[in-house]
Structure 1
Amino acid sequence: MTPAGPRGLDLARLRERLDRERPPLTAGPLTGRLIEGGRSNLTYAVTDGHTRWVVRRPPLGHVLATAHDMSREHRVIRALHGTRVPVPAPVLLCEDDEVIGAPFYVMELVDGTPYRTAAQLAPLGPARTRDVVLRLVDTLADLHRVDPDEVGLGDFGRPEGFLDRQLRRWAKQLAASGSRELAGIDELQATLARRLPASPAPTVVHGDYRLDNVLVDAEDRIAAVLDWEMSTLGDPLTDLGLLVMYSSDLGLGDSPVSTTSGAPGHPSPAELVERYAARSGRDTSGIAWYTAFAWFKLAVILEGIHYRYTLGQTVGAGFEQIGALVPVFIEHGLTTLQEG
């Protein structure tokens, strides 16, 4: 008998579907556990005692299906599998809500470490840390080299007007959580809109590319790129700008926003941009706009979390620190534009 699974995952129903769609995949009853650390969609590790898989499903009680589109995640992983971009092998997509209560997909479980902080990277030492982060940049360039039409993703997004839509989207999000005055936020938004760059040829973009969204194996290689829920077709430099932002020194001793920049040997943001330019052949001279946009986007996200905290709608520790971070991100965005 298959034991009861973690909340949100009916292991017996999951095995039934796997046995029906992918026989003879499973060799016995399944056990599973929730993988902690996810920010949106739920991720479970599942095994039959011989083989291990990962199951992804929307959060419990989700309302907006478009925000947690399992078929979209599965599609991009399936398309990229077999390219130079390392992704887990796709196993099954199930869009039937009746199986576990929501659409889900199954992929192989890849061994590796998601490095989330400088403290976690530090034991690798300077040389290995540098290699890992530079390989992260190389993998991003490889992703942006994939021809969307060749892998069946030619209709995966609407690249025309991508940056303008992105900026408007996050401005709308800011307005929805505008519970307080934020010095400089209007100036940052207006300057970004005024200096909107012309995008290069569109590529598949990850949408949240950083070190803790990949797995690093025992040989310090990028074993798998994960968390594709924000992927689309668009401006590849938005991925690079976000990576540069997450690799910058926040100037804060203790921050709930993860960054690996303080680890000995970690390449500087300028080195990351230089590496990407060399690997991709793209013009990165306008990266300041994209990095400032990343600061703006994270400021909006953090302000939304702070707003929910003030309404008593957050659960857990550390949320009381978020509100104080928002002005820091705004200031970094303004400074980046001024220096760029």
Structure 2
Amino acid sequence: MANSHPPGLDLERLRTHLDRERPGLVAGPLDGELIEGGRSNLTYRIGDGSSRWVVRRPPLGHVLATAHDMSREHRVISALHPTAVPVPRTVLLCEDDAVLGSPFYVMEFVAGTPYRRSGELAVLGPERTRGVVLALVDTLVSLHSVDPESAGLGDFGRPEGFLERQLRRWGKQLEASRNRDLPGIDELHRALGAALPGSPAPAVVHGDYRLDNVLVGADDRINAVLDWEMSTLGDPLTDLGLLVMYSEQQDTPGSPVSTTSGAPGHPRPAELIERYAAGSGRDVSGIAWYTAFAYFKLAVILEGIHYRYTRGQTVGAGFDRIGGLVPGFIRNGLTTLQEG
């Protein structure tokens, strides 16, 4: 339900800022509501009774600006809008903390459904489900086909040494939340480092590409790719590996991990890989490493949530079950790497 005072969004100050920067954009009083589902940055739907927009800002009380860089999200979406990649049109970026207490940006509202669970996707039926998931792969091919230089994103990241930095980064994340024995996690980390693949030509990578980070329209087309906070220039196969990992997940009660693969008609991981290879022309023979790396990343993320739960730093139900999911991700990562 929309209201006049959603947390973190002062609608009067926002209206004043929009009237000054985009005169005539807003035609009436603004209302707004927080959109649930985001992992990190806050997303709001706002409207004036005739038009709707979306506002993105960092979480309340955020400390590390680099972890919630609104200008990067705004930049990549703005750069990709003229391409074949479906993204919302941006309206403005505000880096003045005086307006909302943090930087934020405004973009157009795009209608569509983010499918998060098998049951939600199953409603479409097998044929439509298959089409939606294959469209997800085709959209990833479109993203990785964008020439960074031509799109004005040539300096959006440092592709050299990308995988080494990623592995090091997630290793540090693990150490920051290590407070129990996790059999196999160090073995997986070392094995990934020992088998580091040579990366193909760099591309714009999304960093968290999965079905519930896109909006699917009534015609089953991908209307928009959302949540670009992890995007950079790097190895495109990291996006594919993450998508494959998610497509292998089964429905688990209490799991925060997106699980849609149980829906009838959902393509198997091998078909998604083949579809990507055919569309992109890239060599995907080493995809097992990237999938195992995705398992490692999710294990570290879930362990971080578990760590905060044990320290009383989480609010809400279900956090007590997350710690029990971590060993399965470690095992799957090791198995994937060994069998690949």
TM-score (norm 1): 0.98
Amino acid at match of 1:125: G
Aligned to 2:108: 108
Aligned to 1:206: 206
Please show how residues 1-340 of structure 1 align to structure 2 within 5 Å: 4-250=4-250, 252=252, 255-340=255-340
Instruction: Please tell me whether the aligned partners of residues 256 and 321 of structure 1 are also in contact (alpha carbons under 8 angstroms).
Output: no
The Cα offsets for residues 137-182 of structure 1, whole Å up to 9 and x where unpaired, read as: 0000000000000011000000000000000000011011110111
* Structure-2 separation of matches of 1:199 and 1:5: 47
- Quick check: 136-145 or 10-19, which moved more? 10-19
- Structure 1 stretches of at least 4 aligned residues deviating more than 6 Å after TM superposition: none
Structure 2 SS opposite 1:178:
coil
The Cα offsets for residues 12-31 of structure 1, whole Å up to 9 and x where unpaired, read as: 11111111111110101111
Q: Cα offset for 1:253?
A: 6.1
Instruction: Please tell me whether the aligned partners of residues 157 and 234 of structure 1 are also in contact (alpha carbons under 8 angstroms).
Output: yes
* Structure-2 separation of matches of 1:182 and 1:168: 18
* Structure-2 separation of matches of 1:260 and 1:123: 12
Amino acid at match of 1:35: I
The Cα offsets for residues 263-320 of structure 1, whole Å up to 9 and x where unpaired, read as: 0000000000000000101000000000000000000011111111111111001111
* Structure-1 separation of matches of 2:252 and 2:212: 19
Q: Cα offset for 1:251?
A: 7.5
The Cα offsets for residues 100-127 of structure 1, whole Å up to 9 and x where unpaired, read as: 1110000000000000000100010000
* Structure-1 separation of matches of 2:297 and 2:258: 15
Describe the shift of the 1:252–1:9 C-alpha distance in structure 2 as closer, same or farther (beyond 3 A): closer
The Cα offsets for residues 47-87 of structure 1, whole Å up to 9 and x where unpaired, read as: 01111000000000000000000000000000000110000
Amino acid at match of 1:192: L
Amino acid at match of 1:6: P
Structure 2 SS opposite 1:256:
coil
Runs of 5+ unmatched residues, structure 2: none
* Structure-1 separation of matches of 2:121 and 2:59: 29
Instruction: Please tell me whether the aligned partners of residues 117 and 251 of structure 2 are also in contact (alpha carbons under 8 angstroms).
Output: no
Q: Cα offset for 1:252?
A: 4.4
Runs of 5+ unmatched residues, structure 1: none
* Structure-1 separation of matches of 2:239 and 2:158: 16
* Structure-2 separation of matches of 1:258 and 1:128: 19
Q: Cα offset for 1:255?
A: 3.1
Amino acid at match of 1:312: G
The Cα offsets for residues 178-236 of structure 1, whole Å up to 9 and x where unpaired, read as: 10111111110111000000000000000000000000000000000000000000000
CA RMSD of aligned residues (A): 1.0
